[in-house]
A = this chain, B = another copy of it.
């Protein structure tokens, strides 16, 4: 008895298991076994399967954030945005099971998962500072940018871009560059749509 278990160790084991056997095979039973413990013991440290799922999602977001942050360091504006885009897709390709964990819906209602997601967004705010957009404009753009990263990466992961008639890397690059290109003419673009926000 009396192992040194705690929720962090459990979540790390779960994340490891996800990478080894696939996210769908992560069960309390399997995690407990990996830790040399019976599954009810886990309830001393977390409230159930839901919390395990949320925890994995949080770990995944933390690692994604680290990857994105390190890609952006020392860069700003276009250069930072393209670097972030590459790092984001690279992370999803290298950690497919963890990336899936981020996607699972109910988790995102979870407080700490929300916060982890938010800290990814904060990086975007930082690299966009030099543009001197209003807070609202920045928010609109970062929502869009995130949508693009997430949308492309998850459709790709789901196997929807398998046509051999066009290179997937290039589709991604073009998409990112297109979106970034609209930043240079933001004032014009915005004012043709709605009055400037300021």
Interface residues of A (CB under 8 A from B): 24, 100, 103, 105-106, 108-109, 114, 117, 135-136, 139-141, 143-144, 146-152, 154-155, 157-161, 163, 165-166, 168, 170-171, 173-175, 177-179, 181-182, 189-190, 193-194
- Interface residue from B105, B148, B158, B171 paired with A139 (Cβ < 8 Å): B171
Name the residue in A150, A177, A194 with the highest tally of chain B Cβ atoms < 10 Å from its Cβ: A150
User: Oligomeric state, in number of copies?
Assistant: 2
Q: Are B155 and A154 in contact (CB under 8 A)?
A: no
Give Cα distance in the complex from A178 to B139, angstroms: 15
CA of A193 to CA of B173 in the docked complex: distance in angstroms? 9
CA distance A177 to B186 in the complex (A): 11
Q: A178 near B182 (CB under 8 angstroms)?
A: yes
Pair B175/A143 contact, Cβ less than 8 Å? yes
Closest to A170 in B: B140
For residue A155, which residues in chain B have a CB less than 8 angstroms away from its CB? 143, 146-147, 150
For A148, what are the chain B residues with a Cβ–Cβ distance below 8 Å? 144, 147-148, 151
Q: Given the complex, which residues of B lie within 8 Å of A165, measured CB to CB? A: 135-136, 139
Question: Which residues of B sit under 8 angstroms from A168, Cβ to Cβ?
Answer: 143
Task: Give the 9 A-B residue pairs with the shortest CB-CB distance, closest first.
Answer: A151-B151, A147-B151, A144-B175, A147-B152, A108-B158, A139-B166, A178-B182, A150-B151, A143-B171
B157 touches A171 (CB 8 A): no
Partner of A189, one of B109, B141, B147, B178: B178
CB of A119 to closest CB in B, whole Å: 12
Shortest C-beta distance, A155 to chain B (Å), equals 6
* Closest beta carbon of chain B to A77's beta carbon, Å: 16
Contact B147 A175, beta carbon cutoff 8 Å: yes
Contact B135 A146 (CB under 8 A): no
Q: Is there an interface contact between B154 and A103, defined as CB atoms closer than 8 Å?
A: yes
Whether A193 pairs with B166 at a CB distance below 8 angstroms is: no
